[in-house]
Structure 1
Amino acid sequence: MAAASGGRAKVHGILSNTHRQASVSPRFIFTGDVMHRMLTATQYIAPLMANFNPSYSHNSTVRYLDNGTVFVVQWDKVYLQGKEDMGSFTFQAALHSSGRIVFGYKEIPVPVLQISATQHPVKAGLSDAFMVLNRSPDVPGSVAESRRRTIYEYHRVELDGSRIRSLSAVEFTPLPTCLQHQSCETCVGSELPFKCSWCHVLQRYLPPSPSPGAVLLLFYYYYFLFFREG
């Protein structure tokens, strides 16, 4: 927690002072390039997603720090919209260049299972998806206007909210993938949870399906390693 609380950490002004403009961003990390209304269901890195309102107090901030090897986002003293009497929450997410992701929880004043999901989903974990643009012949207009977006969620890791409490942490480590192998020998001798095969033409290990979901799965498939406290 000290890294994002120190002098080098930057405070995101919009996210810290505006509830409506930050209706999505102050609740989780989104790493995609296309904003859509299904983000909270399909694409997020969320130590704790809930109906937080950083504009409630001047002490409520969303801080971030990037030193080149780790990107840290900290939600500091944020309150639930309309439930400010429950107390403030302080937690963070650290994304390491190695692929490791760590969620740290400093202050969780109430059990997560008691947080209402009426106004906003309440969840913690990782999820990713890919989007396919298909032209819709039934819609008149230009090509750009007639494209239909289809979102495919290909993997999700959900945390047990009952185990999220003050002074606890969760660590995710990326599984080894076939794309790390550079020769047929290492490919054949590896033990991976994917049914892949070596391509002599491309000289690389490939997933069994050419679909975008299979390829992206190899990049973003995370394994829940352990849950620790203290």
Structure 2
Amino acid sequence: MGVGLPLAVPAAVSHGWGLHLHGASWEDNHSYYVSRIYGPGDARLRGLWVDMAAANRSQVKIHGILSNTHRQASRIVLSFDFPFYGHLLRQVTIATGGFLFMGDVIHRMLTATQYVAPLMANFNPSYSRNSTVQYLDNGTVFVVQWDKVYLQGKEDMGSFTFQVALHSTGRIVFGYKEIPVPVLQISATQHPVKAGLSDAFMILNPSPDVPESRRRTIYEYHRVELDTSKITNMSAVEFTPLPTCLQHQSCEMCVTSELTFNCSWCHVLQRCSSGFDRYREEWLSYGCGQKSDEKTCEDLAEGDRYSAPPDSSFSPLDEDVATSTSSLFIDSLTTEDDTKLNQYAGSEGVGSSLPSKKAGAPIHTGTIVGIVLAVLLIAAIILAGIYINSHPTSNAALFFIERRPHHWPAMKFRNHTNHATYSEVEPASQEKEGFVEAEQC
């Protein structure tokens, strides 16, 4: 995959902390979250830190592979739906580098967008036997703790212990127990160093230069950057989610919403949106972005009843997205890697395929021919299987044995010697977990 990465500073990025509150707390209002930081000595700290040692041991798992490797990540399925920027997620990816990747479609900019990062840095849990990456899921909260981990090549700085808690209500808490040095002293040369939240959406469209290729455009529509000077021993950050357009389940609630997102209703999709979320490609392909704010719910329902099926072209509104958001451009041909990517695409709408135009009335002759061909294909597969089982040393049998599925990597991207990457691993136990490899920004 060839990559060109023009990265602009998005207008939605929030820097530092705003209003000074009582004690050692600071609060900042963002578009999607209200964040509050608690310093040492704040009485609220005790209720924010999750004591993994005191938790139910059946609910706490030490990730054996992540605890003994460097620059690797593992996908974990949650026991509950976690609301992230209004999207309900059922899986996250834990990275050894002190962050969670919140996307469905893995792209090479793993550390650039769609993350929850209590402290993203070049941590190497394999340095010490006491270093672990552990997680807990009790049905209402999912906690990941990087315990006594060291920075690669800077082990003399000491060990770091911190955690992130994802609550089923959408609340996110960063907890810091051991931060031996100021975060500003951590080098970002080999790995990004940051703390905060980010989300993005991806749109696939043909490249104008090469018709057979596709261009992936990833738009980071919102980011919260924490002031890392506030991250110290015994401190915490709490993010409380604000309402989004996606939470409205009816047209009436959507059009009367007093949110600052300028919500609009798409009757075809039965969805309320501002047009800037992970469903954006589908939103544009159905022409939802062209709806007039002056239409009533009855007008929208009546108009959509007679609307033509959407085509695969995007609305011109898509052209001006990059003016207010950070964009990452990834050009690539449709390769085997792209095919493997698609199997991980969830229901969140990132990179979702566009609806295709339906053909006319079915032709009975074609249906019959299709059924006959399908029967013949199944018969051929059965006969081939019988032959391979009865002739295990044949060339055909050896060919399939060498390429049996459990030898195929779940996700693999090209390695570039001039960039540090997160590498994939094969799980050693019978419990299969998805491992990903992606390149840092």
TM over 0.5: yes
1:70 — aligned with what?
A: 141
| Aligned pairs (5 A) from 1:121-132 | 121-132=192-203
1:223 — aligned with what?
A: none
2:95 to 15, 22, 25: 25
- CA distance in 2 between counterparts of 1:103 and 1:65 reads 15
1:167 — aligned with what?
A: 234
Change in CA separation of 1:76 and 1:214 when aligned onto 2, cut-off 3 Å? farther
**SS at 1:29 equivalent:** strand
Q: Give the structure, 1 or 2, with the largest relative contact order (CA under 8 Å, sep 6 or more).
A: 2
2:184 to 89, 113, 122: 113
**AA at the equivalent of 1:74:** Q
2:63 — aligned with what?
A: 12
2:22 — aligned with what?
A: none
**SS at 2:126 equivalent:** coil
**AA at the equivalent of 1:4:** M
Residue ranges of structure 1 left out of the alignment (5+ in a row): 220-230
Listed one character per residue, the Cα deviations across residues 188-230 of structure 1 (whole Å, up to 9, x for unaligned) are 6643121124567877644267971897xxx9xxxxxxxxxxx
Shift of 1:94: 0.5
2:159 to 88, 103, 107: 88
Query: What is the CA RMSD across the aligned residues, in angstroms?
Result: 2.9
1:158 to 207, 222, 225: 225
**SS at 1:41 equivalent:** coil
Contact 1:48 1:122 in 2 (8 A): yes
Deviates more, 1:170-179 or 1:22-31: 22-31
- CA distance in 2 between counterparts of 1:120 and 1:160 reads 18
**SS at 2:100 equivalent:** coil
**AA at the equivalent of 2:274:** P
Deviates more, 1:33-42 or 1:119-128: 33-42
Contact 2:255 2:263 in 1 (8 A): no
Change in CA separation of 1:10 and 1:135 when aligned onto 2, cut-off 3 Å? same
Listed one character per residue, the Cα deviations across residues 63-95 of structure 1 (whole Å, up to 9, x for unaligned) are 111111111100000000111111110000001
- CA distance in 1 between counterparts of 2:163 and 2:239 reads 14
Contact 2:245 2:263 in 1 (8 A): yes
TM-score w.r.t. the length of structure 1 is: 0.80
Listed one character per residue, the Cα deviations across residues 111-161 of structure 1 (whole Å, up to 9, x for unaligned) are 011111111110000111122222336558xx6xx3332211111000000
Residue ranges of structure 2 left out of the alignment (5+ in a row): 1-48, 75-93, 284-347, 349-441
1:212 — aligned with what?
A: 280
**SS at 1:40 equivalent:** coil
Question: Which entry has the higher C-alpha Rg, 1 or 2?
Answer: 2
Contact 2:199 2:223 in 1 (8 A): yes
More strand by share: 1
1:225 — aligned with what?
A: none
**SS at 1:93 equivalent:** strand
Give yes or no for the alignment of 1:98 onto 2:169. Answer: yes
TM-score w.r.t. the length of structure 2 is: 0.44
- CA distance in 2 between counterparts of 1:201 and 1:139 reads 33
Change in CA separation of 1:9 and 1:79 when aligned onto 2, cut-off 3 Å? same
Change in CA separation of 1:201 and 1:128 when aligned onto 2, cut-off 3 Å? closer
- CA distance in 1 between counterparts of 2:275 and 2:67 reads 45
